[in-house]
Amino acid sequence: MLVIAHRGASFEAPENTLVAFERAIDAHADGIELDVMEVDGELFVFHDRYLRRLAAQPGRFQDLTSAQVRALRIFSQHPIPTLLEALEFIQGRCFVNIELKSQVSQAALVEVLNQAEQTLGFSSDQLIVSAFNHHWIHALKQSRPKTRIGALSASCLLDYARFANELDAYSLHIDIDFVTFELIQDAHQRGLKVFVYTVDEPEDILLLKRWGVGGLFTNHPRHTRNVIDGLTSASPFNF
């Protein structure tokens, strides 16, 4: 079962920062998930629609200029990396799931993916692009067919994972609240990997291991790996 650090090792360090990515690599995470939004044609790693929680100021992220984004500090301390800076930092040391949180320029994204594969030490199977907006990943798959795409979902549809097949997705990324054994079986029969978010508690980790899911997005990759390996059954929140 793959351990994928959700926004980096975001239990231990501020989410979507280079520190969180370093902690994830230290924890031997198989992959890192990060969120991407576009501002002024540039791709930045940031999750929230609003600035309040992470940058303690009012307003929407997408209303900033790229210069303002560069000046922002997460929790008064950590710069917001561009997608390219994040990939330069990770350097193929684990796979990366790029989740698109806003519509981005196809050309800008493709340029970064190409650069990651040509000069930053990533193989094409180490990059997965996902989104809840399936139009965005569909368009990407059309223009760059070798790209692995992940179909994000927070629902359990009547025809299960069929939509992910239709997208020619590599993987189905499903909310823990909506994953069922039937959905997993259907996805596997269609040749899809199933990755579940966001999973930190031992009861969930062990249930999903029994159900045979391919991977978990977790805020605490070190602890989750220990639970999978049977080294602890404690909740990370009890520490």
Q: Please give the residue ranges that form the binding site for Mg ion (CB under 5 A).
A: 35, 99
Sort strands 215-218 and 2-6 into parallel, antiparallel or unpaired.
parallel
Q: Which residues are tagged catalytic?
A: 6, 47
Q: Select 38 or 99, whichever has its Cβ closest to Mg ion.
A: 99
Q: Which one of residues 5, 6, 90, 184 is an interface residue with ligand G3P (CB under 6 A)?
A: 6
Instruction: Report, in Å, the least distance between residue 90 CB and ligand G3P.
Output: 16
| Alpha-carbon distances of 32 from 8, 46, 94, 99, rounded to whole Å | 6, 14, 7, 11
Terminal CA-to-CA distance of the chain, rounded, Å? 24
Q: Which one of residues 16, 25, 27, 35 is an interface residue with ligand G3P (CB under 6 A)?
A: 35
Residues between 89 and 118 with contacts to ligand G3P, criterion CB under 6 A: 99
Q: Select 35 or 38, whichever has its Cβ closest to Mg ion.
A: 35
Instruction: Report, in Å, the least distance between residue 230 CB and ligand G3P.
Output: 26
Interface with ligand G3P, residue 193, by CB under 6 A: no
CA–CA gap between residue 185 and residue 191 (Å, rounded): 10
Tokens 């069929």 sit on residue: 162
Instruction: Report, in Å, the least distance between residue 119 CB and ligand G3P.
Output: 26
Q: Which one of residues 21, 95, 136, 197 is an interface residue with ligand G3P (CB under 6 A)?
A: 197
Name the binder of 21 from Mg ion, ligand G3P, none, CB < 5-8 A by kind.
Answer: none
Q: Residue 47: exposed, middle, or buried by beta-carbon count in 10 A (0-12, 13-18, 19+)?
A: middle
Q: Select 89 or 132, whichever has its Cβ closest to ligand G3P.
A: 132
CA–CA gap between residue 215 and residue 99 (Å, rounded): 16
Name the binder of 173 from ligand G3P, Mg ion, none, CB < 5-8 A by kind.
Answer: ligand G3P
Interface with ligand G3P, residue 204, by CB under 6 A: no
**Please, what's the b/e burial string for 125-145 (b: 16 or more CB within 10 A of its CB; e: otherwise)?**
ebbbbbbeebebbbebbeebe
Name the binder of 187 from ligand G3P, Mg ion, none, CB < 5-8 A by kind.
Answer: none
Using CA atoms in the order 148, 168, 1, 133, what is the torsion angle rounded to 10 degrees?
Answer: 80
Interface with ligand G3P, residue 33, by CB under 6 A: yes
Binding site for ligand G3P (CB under 6 A): 6, 33, 35, 47, 99, 130, 152, 173, 197-198, 217
